[in-house]
Amino acid sequence: MRNNFEFLDLRAFLAVLEFSSFNEAAKHLNLSTPALSRRIKAFEEAVGAQLIERTTRRVAPTQIGRELMPLVRRLVDEFEESILSISDLGGRHRAQVTLASLPTAAFYFLPRVIEAFNKRFPGIRFRIMDLSANEGLDAVANGEVEFGINIIGAVRDDLKFTPLIEDPFVLACRRDHPLAATSSLPWSALQGHPLIGVSKKSGNRAVLDRALAMADQQLDLNWFYEVNHLSTSLGLVEAGLGISVLPQLATPQREHPLIATVKLVDPVVTRSIGIVERRGARFSPSAVRFREMLVNEWHGA
């Protein structure tokens, strides 16, 4: 029996149980499946008991493995948090988290998460690329950033998506517009009004067009203006040039003196926003911690 074990043995144990798969856990840790199996075997020898049951149908912890999980997770968490807190990582070596984010998420949501993160781990820098959905996916796939915050919908074998929230599309119009007088409207109520929409090449427009097509309604919407950025559409609305359909996250988050937002129903159309990362990619310790905080903060938003 071995008298000790390595830190990667602990991470291997947790990863197998998290993914319920040796193959997926191996990809996550950037190991071969045989190498991962050796890690698990080594850890079991160190403990002196079988920790994981592996059959053709499932991978699950044994009773001892289940009891050991909280202790192992606490050990891993404490070690990684200590690594992040040491002066070399937070100071002289200038650790950095790199991510690509939709502009709306970068503006309205990221600042408070970064503020909370910096209070725990001061000195870690951020490089945030505010990119369109397609550009953000490419930045993640190319390794230009560690992960991204993006619209979920594209099917790409090289990327993994983790859903976070559903962001509904709403109507934005001036407060003196006739459609501003109600709390919700069917899409059919928009017919006959000049609409301001984002480019047909954008991810938001693709989500919207796909959902309306699936609803199978005979809508004759007048997309009179086309812009590249959601913020531009709000400027046109404010000037009284038309009404706009855009994600709720892109609308003013506080009471606006000129712009009102109205829920759109029949159908309710939402975009799924989440974390996108390369399959098999290994995050830096600082990115691992920030990703965890991001998930916790957003789910509590």
Q: What is the pTM of this model?
A: 0.62
Buried b or exposed e, range 191-225, using 16+ CB within 10 angstroms = eebebbbbeeebbbbbbbeeebeeeeeeeeeeeeb
Angle between helices 285-299 and 110-120 (to 10 degrees): 130
Q: Could you tell me where in the chain the CATH 3.40.190.10 domains are found? A: 96-163+273-300, 168-270
Beta strands per DSSP E along 117-247: 125-130, 147-152, 159-174, 184-186, 194-198, 222-227, 243-247
Of 187 and 55, the structure prediction assigns the larger pLDDT to 187
The CATH code that applies to domain 96-163+273-300 is: 3.40.190.10
Round to whole Å and give the CA distance between 60 and 42: 18
Model confidence pLDDT, tens digit, residues 193-217: 999 988 888 888 888 888 888 877 7
**Which of the residue ranges 27-36, 213-222, 227-236, 273-282 would you say has the lowest mean pLDDT?**
213-222
Q: Percent of the chain at pLDDT above 70?
A: 90
Angle between helices 285-299 and 63-85 (to 10 degrees): 110
143 has a pLDDT exceeding 60:
yes
Cα dist from 237 to 172, 254, 277, whole Å: 7, 17, 35
162 has a pLDDT exceeding 90:
no
pLDDT at residue 179 in the model:
95
The CATH code that applies to domain 7-90 is: 1.10.10.10
Q: Which CATH number is 168-270's, of 3.90.1150.10, 1.20.1420.30, 3.40.50.300, 3.40.190.10?
A: 3.40.190.10
pLDDT band at 23 (very low <50, low <70, confident <90, very high): confident
pLDDT at residue 276 in the model:
93
Model confidence pLDDT, tens digit, residues 260-276: 999 999 899 998 888 99
Q: Could you tell me where in the chain the CATH 1.10.10.10 domains are found? A: 7-90
Of 3 and 136, the structure prediction assigns the larger pLDDT to 136
Round to whole Å and give the CA distance between 187 and 190: 6
80 has a pLDDT exceeding 80:
no
Mean local confidence (pLDDT), 36-51: 90
152 has a pLDDT exceeding 50:
yes
100 has a pLDDT exceeding 70:
yes
Of 68 and 91, the structure prediction assigns the larger pLDDT to 68
Q: Going by C-beta distance under 8 Å and a sequence separation of 6 or more, which residues neighbour residue 159? A: 137, 140, 141, 276, 277, 278, 279
Of 163 and 218, the structure prediction assigns the larger pLDDT to 163
Of 50, 21, 48, nearest to 36 by C-alpha is: 21
Helix (H) or strand (E) holding 98: strand 96-101
Q: Going by C-beta distance under 8 Å and a sequence separation of 6 or more, which residues neighbour residue 56? A: none
